Amino acid sequence: MTSQNRFGPPERKDPSGQILAFHFGPQCLQAGAGQFDEDCLYLNIYTPRVANITHQHYPVFLWIHGGGFVGGSGNLETEGILNNLVSRDLIVVGINYRLGPFGFFSTRDSTIPGNVGLLDQIEAINWVKRYISYFGGDPNSITIGGESAGAMSVSLLTLSPVSQHLFKQALLESGSGFSAGYFSSSELPSDASKSAAIYLQCITAEQWDRHDPALMSQMVQCLRSKKATDILNAHKLGRFLPVVDGPGGVIPQRLEVLAQHRPPIPILTGNNQAEYLFWLFEDGLLHSSDYVNRFTRQSSTSDLAHRPELQYYNNSQLVLPAIQRAYIDSINLTDQDHIGWCNENIQLYTEMVFMGPTYRDAMLFRQTKSRVYLYSFDYLAPGALPTLTAQLRGVPHGWQKQYAFGYPGTADGGWKLTDDDRSTEDYFGQFWANFVKYGNPTPTPSTIVWPQLGSKGEYIILGPKPTPSSGFHPKALFFACTVPAIE
């Protein structure tokens, strides 16, 4: 990948010679410290250690990382992956894909259609189908999975006519293509691209709006001549995200239309109990009583009106008052109950961005006869997040990864592991591996039966003692059903 390939689709790369893979390749360009490069389309393959590996036919779990489409990589926690997943007789593949403006710059026309980050993911799946048999993998038994933006990507890949035939099943942790703030059929994503091109002095606003082919072609050449670091700095000007890229593209139509034509495949999907909590404690905000004390009915109303997610609804002038009525006006709390209002905000944005879209996606999968296994991860170890007041303790975004990938007790400073932590880690490994191998997280015989999602909202509560239940987060139905009807 060079600057002349910038914004273009990935090129097929076939193996040649022997590679001594003693260290990870560079990550795709992103803000922060690390080994980054524009030439970043690497994948990492973790296999069981057996003789005659090429004679095996292990199922494959291809992991697409999260990071808001601006960060992350396929460099996985090696020891944990080997111990909790690969040891259960499967192959794990972690992939990189272009991020920010490098992966999602779009003019919303044929100049730069966008979605090359998704094309990177698709080419990685194609590479695995072509060559995973040399690593002992079964090219006809590929499960794609991801977390956060990775799960949103997985959702989009199940919707895309370009990719939906390339894998057998899908696992989505805390993300959906329908997530508010991360996908829009409107012009919002191209606004960031327009701002970036103007900032880099490759076009004027008036020229962009004219969409003259000659001027747009000159703009592309100008952008390709820029230093990668200059392009990277433009990520501050807006959000570069997947888009509807039209006929022949990765996402040729609105997601609701594409969802009607998805093939029936096994799906495992779910959320953590308090996803939005992550953004509050990660920034240290909840450690300040002054910050918590700002939460009132009035502050909740004001914050909602300025949420960027609202811009991604096609009928936001109707959606906003509906959310206001459901999540603020109907709440019986005094303005002095600051912790209560803080919790209400955590629930609102957890359900707006994560749970509602997850449940909507799950129901759409059911409509095309997919078997859907839904979960809610509700376990927070007693020693975790010790600085949080008891009333604000919950399971934040990303928390499940340490259990699934075999490194529990390390997040947010870590804590002393308990037997419940070990049991939770083992259940995640069992369920995830069983799903990859059999398309069912709990094949018979099993002491725990994970129910398929049906008309009663059946799901399982994950933790040290997994518990089948029904009525998946009922208030999230507002964002799964009511808001789409308003749109």
Residue 35 vs residues 21, 79, 81, 89: alpha-carbon distances, Å? 16, 21, 22, 31
Element containing residue 375 per DSSP (H, E): strand 372-377
Closest CA to 173 of 16, 337, 9, 354: 354
Tokens representing 384 are: 């975790």
The identity of residue 209, as a single letter, is D
Tokens representing 308 are: 């960027």
Say whether the peptide bond before residue 266 is cis (omega within 30 degrees of 0): no
Residue 116 vs residues 69, 92, 102, 153: alpha-carbon distances, Å? 12, 23, 8, 12
Distance of CA 118 to the CA centre of its chain: 12
Tokens representing 193 are: 């691209």
Closest CA to 278 of 181, 390, 385: 385
Distance CA 349, CA 334 (A): 20
- Assign 3-state DSSP to the chain and report helix, strand, coil percentages, each to 5: 45, 10, 45
Residue 410 vs residues 73, 148, 385, 429, 466: alpha-carbon distances, Å? 19, 19, 11, 17, 22
Residue 168 vs residues 157, 384, 413, 425, 430: alpha-carbon distances, Å? 12, 36, 37, 25, 19
The identity of residue 485, as a single letter, is A
433 within 8 A of 419, measured Cβ to Cβ: no
Closest CA to 374 of 347, 355, 396: 355
Establish whether 148 is a catalytic residue: yes
Distance CA 358, CA 257 (A): 17
What number of other Cβ atoms are within 10 A of residue 206's Cβ?
8
How many residues are there in the chain? 487
Site of tokens 């501050």: 236
Q: Which of 73, 133, 141, 148 is catalytic?
A: 148
Distance CA 396, CA 62 (A): 24
Distance CA 197, CA 202 (A): 5
What number of other Cβ atoms are within 10 A of residue 15's Cβ?
10
181 within 8 A of 312, measured Cβ to Cβ: yes
Catalytic residues: 148
